[in-house]
Amino acid sequence: MNKKVILNWPLTPYTGWGTYGINLTQSLIERNFQIFISYESEKTAFCDSYWLLILQEIERRSKGLRKQQEGKEVKLLNTDADWLFHPLQADTYDTKFKAKKNIGIAFFESSHLKEKTLNIMRSLDLIIAGSNWNRNIIQDHGFKNCKLVHQGVDMSKFNTNKVPRIIKRSFIIFSGGKLAPRKGQDMVLAAFRELLKINKDALLIAAWSNISSMGMETFANTKYLKIPPKSAKPNHIKEWITSNGIPIENVYLVPPLVNHQIPNLIKQADMAIFLSRCEGGTNLMAMESLACGIPTLISDNTGHSDLFRMNIKNAIPIKQNFGRVPSAITNQFGGDPKNCWGESDLEEVIKISLNILKEKEKVSRIKEDSTQDIANLSWRNSMQSLFTQIGID
């Protein structure tokens, strides 16, 4: 009889958690596991048709499990499942279900964990951390049952295979990730505004649209831009960009997309930039840009720092100023008592960007050389590492 696995988060295709869950689910199915999900997942026409068939079957199978919790106060329900995977993040929710073995998947943005989160962690058999920084945090809180497994990249889509350059600009920069102060898009815009003074034809591809607008008001606490965005909707992002002195003709604002729609956009760019103040993991979209062979500027802090330990040729570290991130931003994630969050050195960002612009032909050779560097970060390798750590054959 097939072994049973419960995933305790929605498999939404627009989110990093959703992408992780979808790849975990598909890898488990390859090993003949029966999958159950405790939260209904979004089904959209943008999803891969094969995945929609899988999800339809999982949803049908999961109705009975979810019905057992309907109308109840939060209560731990014992099941006959062999494994349960539970997300551990800034605002961790209750597990509700218990299996024979219970695994936490951790992507934290705070170095101080809430008591509720700690209580949930105490109920788990093993915790998988998405970065060395997260593993250190977990171990500092007294948990020794913690292993490191990095997330992966879909190498069938994110790779160095060439595509036609449709966008005809002298310099194209890609920046991705949901709009949020933690992701540092205010610093990206501030640096891009300075670059436009030197190269008026430059284009920023901004894949920032977000279904959530939480924390937009805290952009007002940064020193880089005067006016915060009203929300993360495309029209408000557009208004935010222009109100801070950047012509909209220099920005291609990307609507909300699912994962497989991103690679050809990345491949239009001469470089990519990710100036997150904090990342619990290694930042999936930064990894995907690296996999496409694009020279990628990455803030050297928290989970991002693992990417530089991997000696990936096109990963370019940006120096950080620690302890300077406004508390109004860090407090959304539980604060930063150990000053782990970073502010990027924008002078260095501009200097490196101009050097890439100057030596575009030379830098483009990175694309041919970078495939082997990033190949070990495939989802297949990531999931195999995960299963080895937790004892799934």
The total of other beta-carbon atoms located within 10 Å of residue 49's CB is 8
Q: CB neighbours of 249 closer than 8 A, spacing ≥ 6?
A: none
Alpha-carbon distance of 19 to 25, in angstroms, equals: 10
Please state the CATH superfamily assignment of the domain spanning residues 172-375 in this structure.
Answer: Glycogen Phosphorylase B; (3.40.50.2000)
Q: Where are the domains of the chain?
A: 4-152+379-390, 172-375
pLDDT tens per residue across span 139-187:
999 999 999 999 999 999 999 998 999 999 999 999 999 999 999 999 9
Mean pLDDT value across residues 267-285: 97
Q: In terms of pLDDT, which residue wins out, 158 or 311?
A: 158
Alpha-carbon distance of 41 to 341, in angstroms, equals: 32
4-152+379-390: CATH, from 3.40.50, 2.60.40, 1.10.1060, 1.10.620: 3.40.50
Tokens of 60: 């049908």
Report the chain's mean pLDDT, rounded to a whole number.
90
Q: In terms of pLDDT, which residue wins out, 256 or 228?
A: 228
Model confidence at 372, in pLDDT bands (50, 70, 90)? low
SS3 call for 130 = coil
Lowest mean pLDDT among 85-99, 208-222, 259-273, 333-347: 208-222
Lowest mean pLDDT among 34-43, 130-139, 171-180, 303-312: 34-43
Model confidence at 73, in pLDDT bands (50, 70, 90)? low
Mean pLDDT value across residues 175-200: 95
What pLDDT shows up at residue 66? 85
Model confidence at 366, in pLDDT bands (50, 70, 90)? low
What pLDDT shows up at residue 50? 84
Alpha-carbon distance of 111 to 302, in angstroms, equals: 10
4-152+379-390 and 172-375 in the same fold: yes
Q: What percent of the chain has pLDDT over 90?
A: 68
185-196 and 346-358 helices, crossing angle to 10°? 50
What pLDDT shows up at residue 268? 95
Q: What percent of the chain has pLDDT over 70?
A: 94
